[in-house]
Chain A
Amino acid sequence: GAGVSQTPSNKVTEKGKYVELRCDPISGHTALYWYRQSLGQGPEFLIYFQGTGAADDSGLPNDRFFAVRPEGSVSTLKIQRTERGDSAVYLCASSWGTSDVGEQFFGPGTRLTVL
């Protein structure tokens, strides 16, 4: 597609449930990033992939969060045993790579609400 797409756009779940959020990057982009944005704050980094491998997962808050990118394109962010504090907008971005081609382009986000 022309831009980064994310599904679902909204997800409401109950505390303790498992959720998966999907990101489709811009075609050909090798780098893919996940960020989380709470109300009134700037986005905060979670994890980024270069190809299929996680190059930096230092932003994942705990081991309930996990992300995969098995074929180097689509990525899934997985959250186990959701907590109310996980409620936020989850943003995905992609880029051609690093340095001179490192401009990141963002998707519309998935708004996650944990009841």
Chain B
Amino acid sequence: AQSVTQLDSHVSVSEGTPVLLRCNYSSSYSPSLFWYVQHPNKGLQLLLKYTSAATLVKGINGFEAEFKKSETSFHLTKPSAHMSDAAEYFCVVTQQWFGNEKLTFGTGTRLTIIP
């Protein structure tokens, strides 16, 4: 069975300061990992994905994440927070079989940006 643990349910940072959202995963084989973002009353938007290529993955809106197998982590970072980054962020691990897949979501981290 696969799972992800998001270590912080709520993170607050000041505008212009770095963002760190933490995620640890558990998987019996090499996982594919994603970060999705959910703005209020909107759907889930893919930020970035890791699928066993480069361990440092760059996504949209200046976000990036580093896959660290030794630490079973996939933390999301951004050098400088913007007000528009305020949202809920989900770390996701996939289970894939014969071309199909199922996403397993973490519990989410709500990011608040302080002006």
Genuine A/B complex: no
B interface with A by C-beta (< 8 Å): none
Partner-B contacts on A (CB < 8 A)? none
